[in-house]
Amino acid sequence: MNSTSLRVGVVGLGANTRARHVPGLLRCPHVKVVAVCNRRPESTAAAARDFQIEKTFERWQELVDHPEIDAVVVGTWPYLHSAVTTAALDAGKHVLCEARMAMNVAEAEQMLAAARRNPQLVSQLVPSPLGLGVNRTVKRLIAAGYLGRLREAVVVSTNDSLADAATPLHWRQVRELSGINMLTLGIVQETLRRWTAEPIRVQAQVAAFTPQRLDSATGVLRPVGTPDSVQVLATLADGVSAIYHVSGVTRFGPGAQIHLYGSEGTLKIELAPQERILGGRTGESELREIVVPPEEAGGWNVEADFVASIRDGHPVEFTTFVDGVRYMTFTEAVARSATSGTAVALPVTPENTTT
C-alpha cells in the first residue's frame, strides 16, 4: 500500500455494511473496495454487482490471504469475528471489525492478542453509535465538576422489537451465531464506559418471555438463545452504583438513556431516538437542556477514522480492541450471574468462558 491507495476486502457484506461501511469507505479519497466474500455465492455475486467489486471469493480465508488487499472489513455475525480478524491481522491486513466484538471473552482475548502481535496494523471495532454526538460535551461537563462526585448511574435501553410473540427469530437470538451477546447490553455498556469507571461486580437476572420463535428460513419453531429482558445491578471501580434495564419487550418505553447522579448535579443523556443532554445542579429547580456547541458535536465518522488511522497513524478512539474486551467481559459476567443467580466479580477469565 502507498499513501494514495488503500484496497479493502469485505468479509460479510450484509445490511449494516451496505448501509454504512462500504459507502463510508467509498467517500474516502483513494479508497477502493476490491474484494468480497459472503456466506452464499449468490449473495457474494449480488454485493459485487451492486458495488462494482472486482474480486469475489467463496472462502474468506482466500480473501484475507490475497496479496492485493491492504485492509479487511469484517461484517459477519459474531461467530466468525475472531477467526477472520485473527487471520487477517496475521496476514498483514488492517482490520475494521463489526460489533459486538466476539462470541465470548475467550475469543475477544484471541483478537486482542493478534492485534498486539501486529502493532504496526490498525485494529478497530465498529463502535456503539449511541452518544457519539454528545460525547465531548458530556466529558467536558464531568471533567469540570458538573456532577460533583458521581454516586449512581442508571442505564436504560428499551424497545418493543420482541414484544410480539409472532415476530420471527432474529439471528441475534441464535446463540450459535451471536454468542453471549444479548440485546443492546454491550452497546450501552460501551457508551457508559466512555464516561465512567469499569464495573467490578454484577448481579443479574434475565427473562425470555417467548422461549421459541419461528425460524422464517426453515418454517420451524426454534428455541430462543438470548433473553428478551435483562436487569443488572453493578458496582463500578470507584464505588458508583449502577442499574441497567435492557429490554426488547417494553411497549412505550423510554428508549435509550443514561442518567448520571452526582453529589452536586445530574446529567440525563438521552441517546435514542435522538440525542440530547439535560442537566441540573444543586440550587436549580429542574433539569434543563444543555446545548452541545457546534465545535463539540460528534457523529458517525467510523470509516474515515479507520482510513486516517492507517494513513496518518491517527489513534483509534472509537473503538479499540481493549475497549471491546472490556464490554465483552461485562457481558460475560452478566451472563454468568444470570445463570448462577449469584453476584460475579470482574474481570472474568477466558479460561472459564461462557459458551
Q: Is 94 left (phi over 0), alpha (psi -120 to 50) or beta?
A: beta
The confidence score (pLDDT) of residue 295 equals: 97
List the one residue out of 323, 338, 331, 346 whose CA is nearest residue 191: 323
CA dist., res. 209 & res. 224, Å (int): 10
The confidence score (pLDDT) of residue 1 equals: 46
The confidence score (pLDDT) of residue 4 equals: 66
CA dist., res. 331 & res. 248, Å (int): 17
Q: What is the pLDDT of residues 274-321, one digit of tens each?
A: 999 999 999 999 999 999 999 999 999 999 999 999 999 999 999 999
Is residue 2 pLDDT above 50, yes or no? Answer: no
Q: What percent of the chain stands above pLDDT 90? A: 95
The fold for domain 6-128+301-319 equals: Rossmann fold (3.40.50)
Q: What is the pLDDT of residues 332-345, one digit of tens each?
A: 999 999 999 999 99
Q: What is the pLDDT of residues 32-81, one digit of tens each?
A: 999 999 999 999 999 999 999 999 999 999 999 999 999 999 999 999 99
DSSP letter at 265? E
Q: What is the pLDDT of residues 242-277, one digit of tens each?
A: 999 999 999 999 999 999 999 999 999 999 989 999
In the chain the beta strands, taken as DSSP E runs, fall at 6-11, 31-37, 55-56, 71-74, 94-97, 123-125, 150-158, 199-207, 212-215, 220-223, 229-236, 241-247, 256-262, 265-272, 276-281, 288-290, 344-345
List the one residue out of 137, 11, 142 whose CA is nearest residue 72: 11
Q: Specify the range with the lowest mean pLDDT, choosing from 15-29, 66-80, 339-353.
A: 339-353
Cell numbers at residue 114, please?
493478534
135-296 architecture in CATH?
A: 2-Layer Sandwich (3.30)
User: Euclidean distance between the first and final Cα of the chain, in Å?
Assistant: 39
The confidence score (pLDDT) of residue 350 equals: 55
3-state secondary structure of 232: strand
The confidence score (pLDDT) of residue 3 equals: 56
List the one residue out of 37, 96, 25, 35 whose CA is nearest residue 68: 35
CA dist., res. 216 & res. 219, Å (int): 5
CA dist., res. 86 & res. 11, Å (int): 13
- 29 pLDDT band, cuts 50/70/90, is very high
Cell numbers at residue 106, please?
475467550
Q: What is the pLDDT of residues 317-329, one digit of tens each?
A: 999 999 999 999 9
Q: Where are the alpha helices (DSSP H) in 105-161?
A: 105-117, 135-143
Mean per-residue pLDDT over the chain, rounded: 96
Domain ranges (residues) in the chain: 6-128+301-319, 135-296
Longest pairwise C-alpha distance within the chain? 65
Is residue 127 pLDDT above 70, yes or no? Answer: yes
The confidence score (pLDDT) of residue 294 equals: 97
Q: What is the pLDDT of residues 87-96, one digit of tens each?
A: 999 999 999 9
The confidence score (pLDDT) of residue 348 equals: 83
The confidence score (pLDDT) of residue 331 equals: 98
CA distances from 333 to 246, 327, 336 (A): 15, 10, 5
Is residue 113 pLDDT above 70, yes or no? Answer: yes
